[in-house]
A and B are shown apart, each in its own frame.
Chain A
Amino acid sequence: MARVAAAVVQFPAAVSAEPLVRVDGVDKVFASRTRAALKAVDNVSLAISSGEFVSIVGPSGCGKSTLMMMISGLMPTTKGQISIGKTVVKRPYTELGIVFQRDALLEWRTVLDNILLQVDIRRLDRRAYEPRAKELLARAGLGGFESYLPWELSGGMRQRVSICRALVCSPPLLLMDEPFGALDAMTREQMNLDLQKIWLEDRKTVVFITHSIAEAVFLSDRVIVMSPRPGKVAADITIDLSRPRRLSVREEPAFGRYVATIRQTFQSFGLLKED
């Protein structure tokens, strides 16, 4: 395990010592009638503090999405235990926001109604949340698009709506599974900047799955590197770069060193062969 740089906490109040998410010796095995059982996640243990932005990077198929599904309670673990706060996760955990690579917007609902799906399903008062939904949209640069249907928006705009939907009930935890994976490079950079901005405003705990090393380093307080399948924690790297980070941070030597460390971890698995 490569442990790079001691944690230098930039905002001491934001990161508390009490872990919010605890993953304890978790395995996931997919049984199949026709094929051999597939071990996707192998004995993973993690602790994520409240207010921390943690990225999980790994080669495709390493079980990082599976890990997120287990944290959300949408998929059971085969072995081990996951807890969020004081709750042991056994069924879908509802005090969180979730964003997938596909925006999962409901095509028949307007932008505003898609965000308020949270409110409808939780049987909350629509009127109480409408101002918050509109404010989130405005912050996401989508003020005035409340009555649009999803198909009238571009891919980046749709994903912004999906992030607003995840945030509207102000959950303490945000799970994001390659949220910008389907976007073009330019939109993706803008989304990284905007996500950082939103995150700096209220410091939710974020678990961010990505296969982009640069994206992980740019956004995170900590990057967890997973090995190829079956996914294990291969490295846990604290990113000590001051915030707010600008795009130019990527040209700084420290940034390059973090990227290099992660890439070397991948190369130690025989990935990213150069000849």
Chain B
Amino acid sequence: MSVSGANAGSAELLPAGRGVASSYLYPLAATAVLFAVWELAARFGNISPLLLPAPSAIALTTIDKFPVLVHMSIVTVAEFLLGFALAVVIGLPLGALIVYAKPVELTFYPLLVAFQTIPKAAIAPVLIVWLGTGMTSKVLIAFAISFFPIVVDTIIGLRAAQPETLYVARSMGASPLQVFWYVRFPNALPSIFGGLKVASTLAVIGAIVGEFVSSDKGLGYLVLVANGELDTRLVFACVLVLTFLGLAFFFAVEALERIFVRWHVSARQAEASASGND
């Protein structure tokens, strides 16, 4: 029996030009075209810079206001990271408990769904009243908005184990805890990371929603201040920095995913397309 009979050869079936380089090239090219059109429209179109500043102007403002942008970013980053961390620390065990303990599922699952249907932006003012205008309220809003996908995807992942894998483990004498660590949890990781990626983007939104309701620092606060002063260029500069931070966070989670679920279908495709380019 040879390796050629195995799936390893499937990389050759992918069309050429779908490698790692092009996976960066295409989105970068699309972004460049978008900014070029924007720049031209802002310069030569009859659009007030108050409504739509040119990308070059936004870039200059970003450089100009860099210290304050960094200062405000630190606050916002701390808020969404803490909110996300709290969602992970509470969401993962809660998901596991729901899968393993029927009473917990009966008690918490309906509440969880009900809680998720509440628009978080609507309860943000209440949280501010309860917890003050400081960081705690923003962390909690980021937590509240990002924790649902983590719980749900943990539940889905833990329930997705193939029955035969569980039978095999149990016939080796595995305890429920061993079944969890050796089979259920690793098997759930692709799904859990799906939830974490969704949650990572939601946590950023949560922090900004909190800052919009009431705050005295953070990028959301700076957006409100700049907007009040009709400083559209600074508003866009804030959005630019926020986009960058959100992307960086998302890719950080994705990098962790690549380390932990190297074996999963999604990672294989990336690998196959990488080797298909040579």
Contact = CB atoms under 8 A, between A and B. Distances in A.
A106 interface: yes
A107 B168 contact: no
A256 interface: no
Contacts of A150: 263
B172 A122 contact: yes
A261 to B, nearest CB: 32
Interface stretch (B3-11, B40-48, B233-241): B3-11
B169 A117 contact: yes
Interface in B260-274: 261-265, 268
Given A98-B168, A141-B1, A156-B1, A106 B183 contact: yes
Interface in B140-199: 162, 164-165, 167-174, 178, 182-183, 186-187, 189
Nearest to A110: B263
A94 B172 CA distance: 5
B164 A102 contact: yes
Nearest to A102: B164
B7 A152 contact: yes
- Chain A binding surface, main DSSP class: loop
Given A94-B173, A121-B178, A107 B264 contact: yes
Interface residues of B, number: 29
B258 to A, nearest CB: 13
A129 interface: no
B162 A104 contact: yes
Given A108-B263, A141-B1, A151-B263, A98 B186 contact: no
A121 B1 contact: no
A255 interface: no
Given A152-B6, A153-B6, A121 B162 contact: no
B6 A98 contact: no
B182 to A, nearest CB: 6
Contact of A154 (B1, B173, B178): B1
A142 interface: yes
A102 B154 CA distance: 24
13 contacts: A74-B170, A92-B170, A106-B183, A108-B186, A118-B172, A120-B182, A121-B178, A121-B182, A122-B173, A142-B1, A150-B263, A152-B3, A152-B7
